[in-house]
């Protein structure tokens, strides 16, 4: 493409031949970042992983990083080094080198200047051109991708707005993901657990099925329930079960819909995108009219003199719907999107309709089945004389799994295992009985308030004596 005349031209062909006679090698470069959004190239990652497994024994200049589980060092080719690789039973020899160039400041670029340009360079003899292009590179990419999946240390990404600029992931920063949660330790009814695991298995094995029915390979889960019922724990358990990365998306930190799309493009397959407490993240509740009124109020507030103007997120409901199932949502494949909320009834039905959020999972107060999971994993017991009392109390009061877990945590290590279990179960019984009393007091208070309110309605307000009586009654209940 650099010659201004027809490539079929005889002169050109002669010229190329002459060049090859003097220098018979071809170079191919694989830059680390590509495209308008400077996404990390999958080819670069696959080559890096391939060279890690095949060529580090030959390289002299090595880079070391922590590997899977942070327990071992993984070596890769250092910069300005060169290694050879033989293919086709040694008939084809190629040379790989890893280089980096100095940063170039793009004056009017939207993105901050990169620190460096890294790339791999492949060199081979021109007579192996077809073999390298058609078979060798395919072999490198396939082996590299397989090694990447096998060796990868899973990551927890976040779109933290205050972090230092991380050029390796344009909008996301990450830490290693090492949460120990699993379905075995998740306190939940076994039947419900089995249903979720089956759903995940079907999704994992469903690549061909999704292609056949013409749907993007993704699935949406809505987890809802009171605080402390295990929504975050379940997300960690799903990530561990599926061997996926997690992208924890903080919607309030996303400037607008196009920034949201950029974040989506940056995510990779085999991942879970999580938006926690979706009802608090944005105005996405079902009552759109109320939202408009609220927005008006906010606008008025903003214009008050002397008030600091905070950059509010301009992500809209339609932007979020596009994020979930617009055209861009199909890029990458094999992704699970999870929303969590404590108030499912507040959400706009459009957001959580089946097809968008395919599975709605309620996480609720601790049942006896859930307690048994805790007893097994926390105390190592499957039966105990106190279980009967606990079963009865769990049927009478609402207590979150988080509270049960807290009671069952061993507080001292000086006692034996059996005494520890006894003490923890007694602790739990005390907590349940206290919760039962509190619930009765709350119910009495509520009944009293309702009675006063309805009397006010009928008679146009309580008189002084009634007000005093109400207060005395409240005080009595509180002191009891």
- Residue of 380, 388, 398 whose CA lies nearest to 443: 398
Helix ranges (H only) for 247-306 are 257-266, 278-281, 288-302
- Smaller CB distance to ligand ATP: residue 52 or 338? 338
Sole window of 21-29, 181-189, 353-361, 391-399 interacting with ligand ATP (rule: CB under 6 A): 181-189
Q: Quote the tokens at residue 89.
A: 């039973």
| Closest separation in Å from C-beta 342 to ligand ATP | 5
Interface pick for ligand ATP out of 49, 76, 229, 285 (rule CB under 6 A): 229
Q: Quote the tokens at residue 200.
A: 């995940």
Interface pick for ligand ATP out of 402, 452, 473, 477 (rule CB under 6 A): 402
| Closest separation in Å from C-beta 230 to ligand ATP | 3
Sole window of 115-123, 179-187, 292-300, 343-351 interacting with ligand ATP (rule: CB under 6 A): 179-187
- Smaller CB distance to ligand ATP: residue 359 or 474? 359
- Smaller CB distance to ligand ATP: residue 405 or 424? 405
Adjacent-strand bridge partners of 246: 156, 272
Sole window of 5-13, 221-229, 244-252, 383-391 interacting with ligand ATP (rule: CB under 6 A): 221-229
94, 100, 105, 111: CA torsion to nearest 10:
80
Cα–Cα distance measured from residue 332 to residue 329, given in angstroms and rounded to the nearest whole number: 8
- Residue of 450, 452, 439, 408 whose CA lies nearest to 426: 408
| Closest separation in Å from C-beta 411 to ligand ATP | 16
- Smaller CB distance to ligand ATP: residue 242 or 338? 338
Site for ligand ATP in 382-401 (CB under 6 A): 401
| Closest separation in Å from C-beta 405 to ligand ATP | 4
C-alpha distances out from residue 196 to 70, 201, 325, Å: 30, 9, 22
Q: Are strands 92-101 and 81-87 parallel, antiparallel or unpaired?
A: antiparallel
- Smaller CB distance to ligand ATP: residue 186 or 242? 186
Please name the residues in contact with 38: beta carbons below 8 A apart, sequence gap of 6 or more.
111, 114, 170
- Smaller CB distance to ligand ATP: residue 114 or 228? 228
**Interface map 341-370 toward ligand ATP (x if CB under 6 A):** -x----------------------------
Residue 372 binds ligand ATP (CB under 6 A): no
Helix ranges (H only) for 214-316 are 231-242, 257-266, 278-281, 288-302
Interface pick for ligand ATP out of 114, 144, 228, 332 (rule CB under 6 A): 228
* C-beta separation of 290 from 226 below 8 A: no
| Closest separation in Å from C-beta 235 to ligand ATP | 8
Site for ligand ATP in 230-269 (CB under 6 A): 230-233
- Smaller CB distance to ligand ATP: residue 402 or 473? 402
| Closest separation in Å from C-beta 271 to ligand ATP | 19
| Closest separation in Å from C-beta 404 to ligand ATP | 8
C-alpha distances out from residue 30 to 15, 137, 168, Å: 27, 12, 16
**Interface map 120-159 toward ligand ATP (x if CB under 6 A):** ----------------------------------------
Please name the residues in contact with 81: beta carbons below 8 A apart, sequence gap of 6 or more.
59, 60, 61, 62, 97, 98
| Closest separation in Å from C-beta 460 to ligand ATP | 42
Interface pick for ligand ATP out of 263, 282, 324, 405 (rule CB under 6 A): 405
Q: Are strands 218-224 and 173-176 parallel, antiparallel or unpaired?
A: unpaired
Q: Quote the tokens at residue 377.
A: 């994993």
Helix then strand then coil, % of the chain, to nearest 5: 50, 20, 35
Look at residue 192 and give its three-state secondary structure: helix
Residue 227 binds ligand ATP (CB under 6 A): yes
| Closest separation in Å from C-beta 185 to ligand ATP | 6
Cα–Cα distance measured from residue 120 to residue 122, given in angstroms and rounded to the nearest whole number: 7
Size of the site for ligand ATP (CB under 6 A): 15
* C-beta separation of 96 from 85 below 8 A: yes
- Smaller CB distance to ligand ATP: residue 319 or 401? 401
Please name the residues in contact with 19: beta carbons below 8 A apart, sequence gap of 6 or more.
none
**Looking at beta carbons, which residue is closest to ligand ATP?**
230
| Closest separation in Å from C-beta 229 to ligand ATP | 4
- The upper half-sphere exposure of residue 346, i.e. CA atoms within 13 Å in the direction of its Cβ, equals 17
| Closest separation in Å from C-beta 339 to ligand ATP | 12
**Residue 443 φ then ψ, to 5°:** -65, -40
Site for ligand ATP in 324-343 (CB under 6 A): 342
**Interface map 182-201 toward ligand ATP (x if CB under 6 A):** ---xxxx-------------
Which parts of this chain interact with ligand ATP (CB under 6 A)?
185-188, 227-233, 342, 401-402, 405
């Amino acid at each position: 493409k650099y010659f201004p005349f027809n490539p079929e031209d005889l002169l050109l062909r002669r010229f190329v031949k002459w060049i090859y006679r003097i220098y018979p090698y071809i170079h191919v470069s694989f830059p680390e970042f590509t495209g308008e959004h400077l996404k990390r190239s999958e080819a670069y990652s696959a080559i890096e992983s391939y060279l890690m497994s095949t060529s580090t024994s030959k390289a002299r200049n090595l880079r070391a990083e922590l590997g899977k589980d942070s327990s071992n060092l993984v070596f890769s080719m250092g910069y300005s080094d060169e290694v050879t690789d033989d293919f086709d039973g040694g008939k084809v020899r190629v040379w790989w080198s890893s280089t980096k160039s100095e940063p170039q400041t793009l004056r009017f670029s939207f993105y901050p200047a990169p620190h460096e340009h890294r790339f791999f360079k492949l060199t081979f003899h021109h007579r192996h051109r077809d073999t390298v292009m058609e078979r060798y590179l395919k072999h490198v990419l396939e082996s590299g991708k397989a090694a990447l999946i096998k060796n990868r240390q899973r990551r927890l990404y976040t779109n933290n707005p205050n972090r230092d600029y991380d050029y390796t992931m344009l909008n996301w920063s990450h830490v290693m993901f090492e949460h120990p949660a699993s379905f075995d330790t998740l306190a939940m009814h076994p039947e419900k657990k089995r249903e979720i695991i089956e759903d995940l298995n079907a999704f994992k094995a469903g690549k061909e099925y999704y292609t056949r029915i013409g749907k993007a390979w993704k699935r949406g889960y809505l987890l809802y329930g009171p605080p402390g019922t295990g929504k975050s724990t379940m997300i960690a358990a799903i990530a561990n079960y599926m061997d996926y990365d997690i992208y924890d998306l903080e919607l309030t930190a996303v400037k607008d819909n196009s920034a949201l799309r950029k974040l989506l493009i940056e995510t990779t397959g085999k991942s879970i995108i999580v938006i926690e407490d979706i009802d608090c993240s944005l105005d996405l509740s079902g009552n759109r009219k109320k939202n408009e009124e609220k927005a008006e109020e906010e606008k008025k507030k903003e214009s008050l003199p002397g008030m600091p103007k905070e950059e509010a997120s301009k992500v809209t409901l339609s932007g979020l719907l596009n994020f979930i199932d617009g055209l861009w949502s199909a890029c990458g494949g094999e992704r699970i999107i999870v929303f969590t909320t404590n108030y499912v009834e507040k959400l706009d039905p459009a957001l959580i309709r089946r097809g968008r959020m395919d599975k709605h999972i309620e996480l609720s107060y601790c049942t006896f089945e859930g307690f048994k999971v805790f007893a097994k994993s926390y105390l190592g017991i499957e039966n105990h004389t106190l279980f009967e009392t606990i079963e009865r109390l769990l049927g009478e009061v609402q207590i979150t799994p988080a509270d049960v877990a807290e009671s069952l945590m061993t507080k001292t290590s000086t006692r034996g295992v059996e005494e520890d279990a006894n003490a923890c179960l007694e602790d739990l019984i005390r907590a349940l009985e206290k919760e039962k009393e509190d619930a009765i007091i709350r119910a009495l208070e509520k009944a009293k308030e309702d009675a006063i309110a309805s009397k006010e309605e009928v008679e146009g307000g309580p008189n002084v004596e009634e007000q005093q009586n109400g207060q005395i009654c409240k005080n009595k209940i509180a002191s009891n």
